[in-house]
Structure 1
Amino acid sequence: MAIDLPSGIPGQGRRRKMPERYKYSATSATEDQQYQSLDEYYRVRVFCVFLDTISQELQRRFKGGDNTTWGILNDFHCMTVQDNWKEPVNEEAFKSLQKLCQFYELEEVDKLRLELKIFYSSFPCLPQNTAATMLNLMKENNVQEILPLMLELLTIYATQPVTTATVERTFSKLKLVKTKLRSLSSEERLSDLLLLAVEKDITINNSEVISIFKEMGHRRVLL
């Protein structure tokens, strides 16, 4: 990212006196820790904290009381393990594939297994077995139409939400759209205005919009 790292460890030079009652607290223990290098500082204060936040968010959002969604995520992961689809096919991985097909109402589980075998035999040396990497590889080699079931499930797996940032941005946009002058807007109109505000990057064909509006009913003004 072309960001220059500081030459010294941040906050290591200045020390503040901690009150006696906070001496053995978790916060003070973290702040009093001495780091030997910049790598150690960013690994402890940034990298590990980031991984811990992601892990807690996944646990909170996906591991419900019956562990159903957490099990679905594990079933998705079996698709990205190359050794599962070598001959003989791993039985546990095949059972996970059956659960996925049942959950998403896909009846061709044998066809999906064949697609996975074809994919891994065609690309035996993958740099990283992740859903995003596999999807990019499929698009680069134009094999989406050959592996439709695999493409559908990998797309679902790659777009699983981890945080609520998108939802929070939508609520922030709602504060800008619903002003005092629009306080009496109907729910449908407010939803349409919010959709236009959130998805403003999507190009709109004006001619198509006019045609749809024209076909809605007779108007006094000709379009």
Structure 2
Amino acid sequence: MNLVKVAKTRLQAMRDDGWEILLTEVSKFCSTHEIIMLDMEDEYVARGRGRRRVEKMTNLHHYRVELFYSVIDMQVLELNHRFDEINTELLLCMACLDPRDSFSAFDVKKLVRLAKLYPSEFSEVTLYELESQLENFIFDVRLDEKFSKLLGIGGLAQKMVSTRKHEVFPLVYQLIKLSLVLPVATATVERAFSAMKFIKSALRNRMGDKLLNDCLVSYIEKDVFVNVTNEAIMQRFQNMKNRREML
């Protein structure tokens, strides 16, 4: 999230002060390579359009406002869309479960705030229990050497299961599972909606839910299914039902 803030700040600084720097660099490049450079005060002429149909503007306005500023604004808008207030809150709270450096990022209040975003999983009473479990959990894992060299939330979940601490701190383990599932589920949903337009096309608009689900899984998980040979597929169908001829 700090890198996202840095990216937004750099883009804003580029928008405020970057045009003159860019124009100077372009001028030097054109001068070095003997390229004719447009006069920024001349009227801009759009290619392929008659002058009567285009609003009159200078080259400076076109390249600075309609291109330079527009591209930067699109990038900032995309960052704000990807990392809105709720997503930012989720990521910052999830980072508190990072076990590196003896759980230095651990914060009980932020983790309870993360749990409040899942009202169906954590009721008001459960939140009080979760806060107590988190306080006991952090003392326990910091004293346990088995948790001293973990590198991520996934490793933390595995270590809790192997040491059976997921039974001692079930609410903490549930919060860890939700944190692990969230980014995967979000990416999977986006990929599924993107792939759906290729699978359920106009020619296959009557496809049933089961067939659609099977086709989507095969399309999305290409890296997995590329290792399945045609021979294995034919053998699978051959064993499902007796056939008159071998596939």
TM-score (ref. length: structure 1): 0.46
Task: Choose between structure 1 and 2 for higher RCO, CA contacts under 8 A separated by at least 6 residues.
Answer: 1
Structure label with greater radius of gyration = 2
Bigger proportion of residues as helix: 2
